[in-house]
A and B are shown apart, each in its own frame.
Chain A
């Protein structure tokens, strides 16, 4: 492991990769800060650029963007009470009241230190958890992988759909349908191309991500007539107050950070859970840990109330890399986008990644830590300046997003058809978004589609067409029981549980 860490450090500390971490954190912070645009959009916009780099460099850039976007989301939560991402909603509970009390600088500093601490502790956990899980996952067979993929989809659908489980499952199926367009990987038979040569290679992953996130988010803002930067115009973004913390505040943070980090990491590892659930759970848990007097301050600018969700959401971001790097199965929409990008580089994450591409495996883990340091050094002093981004007029912001989306696809294919297809998918996604159909399950399903079919094929061929492979192995059976429990619970919650 020491050798691996050194390889990772050597790769991550090369000038180019360090530069990528800095650029990624900076770009991610800016994009993540803009309300409505989250890490998925930020990463999606970066993918076409990363294809010009080495895989490790590309992944390091995307990891930087990921952390930067989560941190940027916290900034808009604290300053204008408009969380850029769902994972930072809990941050606004106490961050925004602090900003209203003239302590915006302090709130941003608490968020930055908590993010750093949560991310760092989780990166250390990842350092030990990932290789061990990689070794365990070598014993996994096709039925287990197939079961894990179904579990990932079901869990993401259950947790990302705000009680609209069936809508999320429909989005999963739509994602799998889109993934099935093009040549069958084994027989080369074309499917669903309708004799259109442009579809014979399938639909590009970047196209789907750009259309369903960047482009449709921009169109949703326009059609709803909302101005995400309106709130920013009403506050001073230059006078944020001191960022210095008192000893009492530091002591409060020191108590909160370890437990929120552990909780965040564990939640992040679970498929589908991720930063949002981690931050809410950490907030709730912290409220139960503090004294009665402190409890009354929650929601009114409590230091612990801000520290807990900020620590947990960053720890969860690191945790989400565990299933991606060790099993090759993303547990969240954002890591699904990363998996898609990795597949684009010709790299298949999974238990073998640890052995076949150690420089990628370790450099990503090392770059996470470096990213945390960069975020702290770069963002804290620059926050008053970066925060001005929040006041960029919508009239310039939206065309820029659309321009980057179209350019991203144009650079990859030099093909009109792909641009038209992307616009078509974006329009459909915009309509679906209006009616609360979640997009992360669609992306996850699209990325997993090929792998799922491959594992189902192997499982069915081995079992000679019998579906008994779903319960023959104890591990597969356990996974299936978890899936059935999630589905049953969701159906019960959606249709039979009385409304409170």
Chain B
């Protein structure tokens, strides 16, 4: 049997399904519901078995059209940088507010992806976010939490 990346992903899915099944059996149901034909853990148990079944078939049966992705052709650096930028964005959005965190995220993301025209970078970050916030907060009355702008007195 040939081990390729798809089979490896299927194996991980098999393990995930097995863990899901184990957790499903651990779900505490009410005592009067224990012997009921259907309770809170019935459906998850079926799902766990279904996941193991399909993943198992994928592992065991021959792959007639295997897909191999050459890692050398993948741009991990930019992707990881973008993911980290998003995590940082997510971590700061509540603390420093929507305006600053979003604008900074956009500046970093444009830069990471290779943009070097600073006029455009700045135009499509700070003013763009300000207009977006005005449309959302000012016109559509969608609440946007921004402690920084509130502290400065720009936002109510």
Contact = CB atoms under 8 A, between A and B. Distances in A.
B73 interface: yes
Interface in B85-118: 86-87, 89-91, 93-94, 98, 102, 105-106, 109-110, 113-115
Contacts of A52: 140-142
A395 B115 contact: yes
A198 interface: no
Contact of A419 (B93, B136, B145): B93
Contacts of A460: 37-38, 42
Given A163-B65, A225-B73, A416 B23 contact: no
B93 A435 contact: no
B83 to A, nearest CB: 6
A80 to B, nearest CB: 21
A427 B79 CA distance: 10
B76 interface: yes
Interface stretch (A172-180, A199-207, A279-287, A370-378): A172-180
Interface stretch (A35-43, A115-123, A383-391, A396-404): A396-404
Interface string B132-156: 0000100011101100000000000
A219 interface: yes
Interface in B16-49: 17, 20, 23-24, 27-30, 33, 36-44, 47
Interface string A294-324: 0000000000000000000000000000000
Interface string A413-430: 010100110010001001
Contacts of B9: 431-432, 435, 437
Nearest to A219: B79
Contacts of B27: 189, 191
A411 B137 CA distance: 11
Given A219-B79, A399-B106, A402-B82, A170 B94 contact: no
Which size class do B's interface residues fall under? 35 or more
Per DSSP, chain A at the interface is: helix
A3 interface: no
B74 interface: yes
Contacts of A170: 10, 13, 51, 54-55, 58
A396 B124 contact: yes
Nearest to B129: A403
Given A166-B58, A223-B75, A423-B86, A435 B5 contact: yes
Nearest to A194: B23
Contact of A225 (B61, B67, B74): B74
B69 interface: yes
A453 B43 contact: yes
B113 A416 contact: no
B51 A177 contact: yes
B131 interface: no
Nearest to A188: B40
Interface in A437-464: 437, 452-453, 456-457, 460-461, 463-464
Nearest to B59: A166
Contacts of A461: 36-38
Contacts of A457: 38, 42-43
Interface in A204-224: 219, 222-224
A187 B30 contact: yes
B64 interface: yes
Contact of A499 (B13, B24, B43, B64): B64
A430 B76 CA distance: 12
B86 A495 contact: no
A259 interface: no
B20 A177 contact: yes
B74 A187 contact: no
16 contacts: A173-B51, A173-B54, A187-B33, A189-B28, A189-B30, A189-B40, A191-B41, A222-B75, A224-B74, A395-B113, A399-B106, A406-B105, A410-B98, A434-B69, A457-B38, A461-B38
Given A166-B54, A423-B86, 10 more contacts: A173-B17, A219-B82, A225-B73, A396-B124, A399-B109, A411-B136, A416-B91, A419-B93, A434-B74, A460-B37
Closest 3 CB pairs of A and B: A465-B37, A419-B90, A399-B109
